Structure 1
Amino acid sequence: MHGVTTTLPGDQRGFFARLIPPTPLSRSLATQSMLFSTGEGAFNTGSAVFLTQVVGMSAAQVGLALTLVGVAEFLFAYPAGRIVDRLGPKRMWAGSTVGRAGCFVALPFVDGFQQYLMVGVVFAIFGSIGGASHGSYVLDVLPPDERVETRAYMYSSLNLGFTLGAAIGGVALATGSLTVVQYTPWFAAVLMLANGFWVTKLPAAPHDLRVASGEQRVKPPGPGPTRNIGWMLTSFFTGTLWTNQVLLNVVIPLWLVEATDAPRVLLAFLFGTNTVLCIFLPAYTARGVRTLQDALRYTWWSTAFFVGSCLITMVTHSTVGLVTVFLVWLGHVTVTGAELAISGASWAFEAELMDPLRRGEYQGVGEVSRALGGQWAPWLYTGLALSWIGGSEGWLVIAGIIVVATLGIGPSVRMAERFRDTHFPTEPIGDPVDLTPESA
């Protein structure tokens, strides 16, 4: 049976109690998410100052370097997934985390564009391995009825960690010392090493056990993800729906500055609201996703929130004062609703539509398809919204793109579901997982 249940057994707790993951494994995974994002957040907060004033790059060089690093991560996503399947997700997850820590250790000694680019590409390689191994491990180690809700708790912890990291990075910037900023990556490295150690204490998943026994050295039977057109299309359209992050982080802030009379300080309140909602609500919003049909319904909820945000935000060019402030805030809140809805849907798609013997490879192909579905959005959405200030055409085109993607995701999921039922194993793979953490 391929249904998804998101409510953990016996979890009848109150509102605040439900903010804490209910099982030892879900708590361990949530802790890992917070360790990771606290380190990343601490560095990312001051990264602009670090790259320009410490490394000595121009703004144009920073943009070019980040673009090239993103291309490297994109190109390595698929081979990284195959490596994870071959060597085991837990081992590669821990190893990639240590590799990222090494890159953070090296950053204070980087001087100029070329040196940063070399470190950045290595970081991207470890990032690709880490993304594929993390996703594979979580789906593999968790019982089917805990996968989506545990991912929701991990998402909450991830946002909490980024908030803590941003606060730490903000303190570093507040000192006004470039020396403090220069060595902030070492703080991130310490948390990455702690994260890697934490991962080694997690239980071995069935895939890890198959690798240890030598079973995984044999190529899994059946076709791989590159022949699963439904999965690639589902990932592509999911990537388009995830462009709510572009609206959230790029388009609405630029629109506020360029096209409205709202004070710029409102930006801090907007991002604060989004952070709070994404810390406290995922465990509740994900509870409605129990089947693939539920996931498809959530894609429409996400689209409704996204379109609503476009319609609300586009009128703020003509409003004044507190009305503008309220409507911009409301537009930001509705796009947060789009984020929460597509989160639950995308976790269900991953849990249900990937071959359990090829999860790393599926993660890699999915990452490439999602990137193709959304990497163009910052340029296109910004151009559409800001080129037609005073008119509604740009915002309506953005909304129309999302509606088209949602129309396409239904047939894609059904195609992937037929592929799954034809080619995937129908029985659980491997023995039940021992949830007792390993001692070494």
Structure 2
Amino acid sequence: MSTPVSGRGAALPAALRRLIPPTPLSRRLATQSVLFSTGDGAFNTGSAVFLTQVVGMSAAKVGLAITIAGIAEFLLAYPCGRIVDRFGPRRMWALSNLGRVACFVALPFVSGFGEYVVVAVVFAAFDSSGTAARNAYVLDVLPAKERVETQAYMYSSLNVGFTLGAIIGGVALAFDSLTVIRWTPLFTAALLLANAYWITRLPAAPHDLRVASGEARVRPTGPGPMRNPGWILVSFFVGTMWTNQVLLNIVIPLWLVEATDAPHVLLAWLFGTNTVLCIFLPAYTSRGVRTMRDAMRFIWFSAGFFVVSCLITMATHSTVGLITVLLVWLGHVTVTGAELALSAAGWAFQAELMDPQRRGEYQGVREVFSALGGRWAPALYTFLALSWGDAGWLVIGGIIVVAAAALGPSVRMAQAFGRRTWGLEEEPVPSAAPEPV
């Protein structure tokens, strides 16, 4: 229990305590998130320079290689999820990180397009299994009432790590030395190696214990997620709603450059604001999600923020000066609100609607259909916003409203499937979050 603080300064310590994960396990998971994202961010910051100047690929070949890796990750998501269920989430999470380590160790020695594609495809396999294993482990090891809140802290920690990694990557770029850039992947590999060790020190989840006892070798009876139309539709429409990231990272920046008089330096402030908000707010915004009804309420919050962002950004085509700057910034902030609300709802869907015996497999199906729900957005949204103008922005907002409306019946279908298949029941969850310790 924390010591009560009296007087005018009481609110500040309480606010600060709210940023610290409340349980020992959630703090260990948050530490893991920082280790992983710091290493990942350090490489990604300078990856464009690494691939073009060190590996020697043209920009077109970089794009092609990334596309090939993305297709491989899409195709491997479902089989990797089944492997996670077979061998246990903690083991596969640690082994996948070791596979990532090997890929980063190989990168300084890659000298062309073909070699990079091989490494990228192998990395995609380990990335698919690692993502499925991480999500399955978190849902399996945590009590139901802690799942959404802990994932919010992990989300904040990921953003802290990405920020630290970007700073480290920026320092490496500041040396203006291809030798430094060439060996940057080894720094990432070292952090991921520490991350893999940290994962092995986490407690075994119930599914890990079933694997150790041999129980998990017997395939669960009953239909799997590919025969669960509700889960497939939930994954698809949540993927559509996650196109808020396309608005955040692609469409609004392009709109700023092509259709407004805002200074280009504003882009740095936009991304900086998003990062800060995603560090400090998830622990607060996730507190309202305790049931599927709460999750659907947050889905509509997300859709509302998204539509407001479209309307605000649309208006900047005819504004000038400081008004444009303020409106573009506000449009970016509101789409960040859409991201935060959707995150909380999505964590609740994963915690409630997946078969506990098949979480890895369900994660694989989620990855596949989430990609189908949103991979088309960069091309379509950019075309609509920059070619159709006001009408295009209204269509983009309308797409999200339709997706939010479709999620209601999709969630009910998934719940009905769960009740028939594995005895899903809506458990009463306390309305108050666990008190910080």
The verdict on a shared fold, with TM-score over 0.5 as the criterion, is yes
**Matches of 2:312 and 2:138 in 1, distance apart?**
37
1:406 aligns with 2:392: no
* CA shift for structure 1 position 14: 1.3
For residue 400 of structure 1, what is the amino acid of its counterpart? G
| Superposed CA offset, 1:341-388 (max 9, x none) | 000000000000000000000000011010000011111111111113
The aligned residue for residue 204 of structure 2 is 204
Equivalent in the alignment of 1:6: none
* Corresponding residue of 2:414: 416
Count of residues in Structure 1 that have an aligned counterpart in Structure 2? 416
Which segments of structure 1 move beyond 3 Å, counting only runs of 4 or more? 425-428
**1:58, 1:399 → 2: CA distance?**
36
Structure 2, unmatched stretches of 5+, are 1-10, 427-437
Q: CA deviation at 1:425?
A: 4.0
Once residues 303 and 354 of structure 1 are traced to their aligned partners in structure 2, the CA distance between those partners, rounded to angstroms, is 24
Query: What do the CA deviations read for 1:229-257 (whole angstroms, capped 9, x no partner)?
Result: 00000010000011100000000001111
1:19 maps to 2:22: no
- CA shift, 1:327, in A, is 0.3
CA shift for structure 1 position 315: 1.0
Paired amino acid for 1:308:
V
Partners in 1 of 2:217 and 2:352 — Cα distance? 24
CA RMSD of aligned residues (A): 1.3
TM-score (norm 1): 0.93
Which residues in structure 2 correspond to 1:378-389 (within 5 Å)?
378-388=378-388
Name the CA shift for 1:411/1:363 in 2 (closer, same or farther; >3 Å): same
Matching of residues 138-157 of structure 1 within 5 Å: 138-157=138-157
CA distance in 1, matches of 2:120, 2:371: 19
Aligned mates of 1:377, 1:393 — CA distance in 2: 16
1:426, distance to aligned residue in structure 2 (A) = 5.1
Correspondence for 2:109: 109
Structure 1 distance, partners of 2:56, 2:218, is 49
Separation in 1, partners of 2:274, 2:358: 35
| Displacement after TM superposition at 1:168 (Å) | 0.4
Q: How does 1:233-248 map to 2 (within 5 A)?
A: 233-248=233-248
Tell me, in whole angstroms, the C-alpha distance in 2 between the residues paired with 1:50 and 1:338: 33
- In structure 2, the residue matched to 1:222 is 222
Query: TM-score by structure 2 length?
Result: 0.94
String of CA shifts for 1:77-118, please: whole Å, max 9, x gaps: 000000000000000000000100110000011011100000
Alpha-carbon distance change, 426 to 297 in structure 1, aligned in 2, over 3 angstroms: closer
Q: Deviations over 1:370-426 (max 9, x none)?
A: 0000011111111111113xx301111100100110110000000000011111145
Structure 1 unaligned residues grouped into runs of 5+: 1-11, 429-440
| Aligned partner of residue 357 in structure 2, secondary structure | coil
1:221 is displaced (CA, Å) by 1.6
- Contact 2:415/2:424 (CA < 8 Å) preserved in 1? no
1:351 corresponds to which residue? 351
CA distance in 2, matches of 1:14, 1:380: 44
Matches for 1:30-429 after TM superposition, within 5 Å: 30-388=30-388, 391-425=389-423
Partners of 2:146 and 2:296 lie apart in 1 by 19
The residue matched to 1:357 in structure 2 has which SS? Answer: helix
Q: CA deviation at 1:427?
A: 8.7
Please give the alpha-carbon distance, in whole angstroms, between the structure 2 residues aligned to 1:300 and 1:172. 42
Give the SS at the match of 1:223.
coil
